[in-house]
Structure formats: structure tokens, C-alpha cells
Amino acid sequence: MNKVFMFDALREAIDEEMALSPRVCIIGEDVGHYGGSYKVTKGLHAKYGDLRVLDTPIAENSFTGMAIGAAITGLRPIVEGMNMSFLLLAFNQISNNAGMLRYTSGGNFTIPLVIRGPGGVGRQLGAEHSQRLEAYFQAIPGLKIVACSTPYNAKGLLKAAIRDDNPVIFFEHVLLYNLQENIPSTDYILPLNKAEIVRQGKDITIITYSRMRHHVIQAVNILIEQGYDPEVIDLISLKPLDINTISYSIKKTHIVLIVEECMKTGGIGSELIAQINEHSFDELDHPIMRLSSQDIPTPYNGALEKATIIHPDQIVKMVQNILSTSDTNM
């Protein structure tokens, strides 16, 4: 086992896959000589050269389209968005080409493409750099969407995404790059379509993903001291949702709380509620509750920024309220 930062785990994944196959390449702004804005590609340019670690102009629509074309020819490109918010400039390529071409070509093309980079609300990065794009991309047919949350799952999921024959949007949270964890020194991959049961429990199912996993864990530690027994699920796969794991948990707890950094309106939580109602409505003893970010552009001001997202104390209070209400109704 090696203790590594998340950015090191991601770099290891890319390095190992590039060494394994000459078809794997990485494309983006400052990924080469500079080593990436968050050092995920540091040292790869010296090892693999200009043609496989390609620095691009500031032209997201163009280089994303180039990567899609490269994928059609049999390469396995990794596009790094310096900030995932910038990929809104490539939305046409991601939607009309990456998501569709396998289908509109009658299966003649596969699109083995990974689009990855930092996203989420950082610390005073301003509205344009603090967007949560998972809800934008969720509506696009043909894409897989993954959100890593630890160094261990970051490496295993990124290796799986690179090997997949479909386009994968791979979200890394900007505030998790310096998270450290012991990970295996041997090769491993993780499934792209499975949620992780972070903690088994019987009182309530808390569903979360990305950075909010760590806020939920902080809250759960407090709740355990108070005698509660929550179950925690990290979605990991945002599309498709692992509804089987979620449904199995609800059969035990019968109560659901969703905690997300995404916006409340049209967010991942909205889709979760719809699917849980479709698959597990009869198992619910309480309305599904959710804690989501405010439906406003993220302020630059630190105090206002903090007020827009969910924190552990809010999770603790919500669980207490839900379970006290549930006990009263039973």
C-alpha cells in the first residue's frame, strides 16, 4: 500500500494506462510542459512526448472535437478541462458528437473518450469557476458520468474509464486533490456503474457523492455518538444511477436523505427522487428529503459562498428531524 494524494492517484492511473497502450493520449490546456493546473499530468510530457501529451490553445470546442475524432480513429484520448466549467464551451461537441456518434453511425464508431478535470465549489473561485455541471451533462444520451471522491476510487475509476469504449465524463472535486489515502501498489480497476456502501446502517439511507461524501461522514460520526445508525451510499456513478444498491438499502431503512453539492432545481437529487419513487415507493416510510446547494451563482465572498452549500451541522439536524418525525408517525 502507498499513501498518495488524489492528484497523484489520478496521475498514476493515466501513466499506467499510457504505458499499457500507445493509443492512450492526453489533450488539454497546460497538460504538457506545465504538468496540469493541479499537477495531475506532471512529468508525463517528459516521458511520452508532444504527440501523446498535447498542449492545446485556449479553444475547448476545437480540442474536444479533435479528441472525439481521434477516438473514432481508434485512439483513447483523455481531455483535461482546466476547470470543468470551461467545457460549457465544448457542450456542442460533447452532446452532438461524443454522446451521439456511436448511435447515429449505426454502431460503426465507438467513442473511447474520457473528459476529466476539476469541478465543484472551491474556495472563492467565483461563480464561473464554481459550477456543478453534472446536472447539465446528465441529460445527454450516450454519456457515462462518474464522480470520484477518494484517492482509491479516483485511480480505479479513471483506469476503468480510459478502458471503456464509451464517452465518460469524469468529475474530480477541486477541494479533494490534496486528500491522502493508502491505495494498493498493484494494478486494480473499479466498476463505473456501481455505488459504494460507505457505511452499513439501519435507521436512514444517506445518499451522496463527491466532496459531500466527506461532509456526510463528519455528520455521521456525530450522529453515531448520539445513538443513530445511518447507512451511507456514495453514488460514484451519476449516470447510470445504481438503483439496485439504492433500492436494497431502502428496503432496510425505509427512509432516504440525499446530500449533494449540485443545485436543487434539476440536480442529481431530482433524478434520484424520481427513480426512487419509481422503484421503491412502497418501501418508503417518510417523504424523500434532500439537502442541495442554493439555486444561485456561487458568490465570490467567502461567507456568502459558505452559505450556498451544505455543511455537516445541517446534515446532523436534518437526520435528527427526519427520524424524530418518523418515530412520531409510527
State the CATH number of the domain containing residue 149.
3.40.50.970
DSSP states of 10-66: HHHHHHHHHHH-TTEEEEETT-SSS--TTSTTTTHHHHH-TTTEEE--S-HHHHHHH
Number of domains in the chain: 2
Q: What is the pLDDT of residues 104-155, one digit of tens each?
A: 999 999 999 999 999 999 888 888 888 889 989 999 999 999 999 999 999 9
Tell me the one-letter amino acid at 227.
G
User: pTM of the full predicted structure?
Assistant: 0.95
Pair 21, 130 in one domain:
yes
Alpha-carbon gap, residue 150 to 175, rounded angstroms: 11
Pair 132, 207 in one domain:
no
Q: What is the pLDDT of residues 150-197, one digit of tens each?
A: 999 999 999 999 999 999 999 999 999 999 999 999 999 999 999 999
Pair 58, 206 in one domain:
no
- Looking at 60, 196, 231, 261, which residue is catalytic? 60
Whether residue 188 lies inside any domain: the answer is: no
Pair 31, 134 in one domain:
yes
Is residue 172 annotated as part of the catalytic site, yes or no?
Answer: no
Pair 120, 153 in one domain:
yes
Pair 238, 304 in one domain:
yes
Is residue 254 annotated as part of the catalytic site, yes or no?
Answer: no
Provide the residue range defining the domain that includes 253.
196-329
Residue entry with cell 490546456? 29
Whether residue 190 lies inside any domain: the answer is: no
- Looking at 12, 17, 129, 305, which residue is catalytic? 129
Pair 314, 204 in one domain:
yes
**Contacts (Cβ under 8 Å, ≥6 apart) of 278:** none
Question: Do residues 250 and 243 touch, judged by C-beta distance below 8 A?
Answer: no
Pair 82, 37 in one domain:
yes
Pair 217, 147 in one domain:
no
H helix intervals, 193-254: 212-225, 243-253
Q: Which of 202, 153, 205, 203 is nearest to 176 (CA)?
A: 153
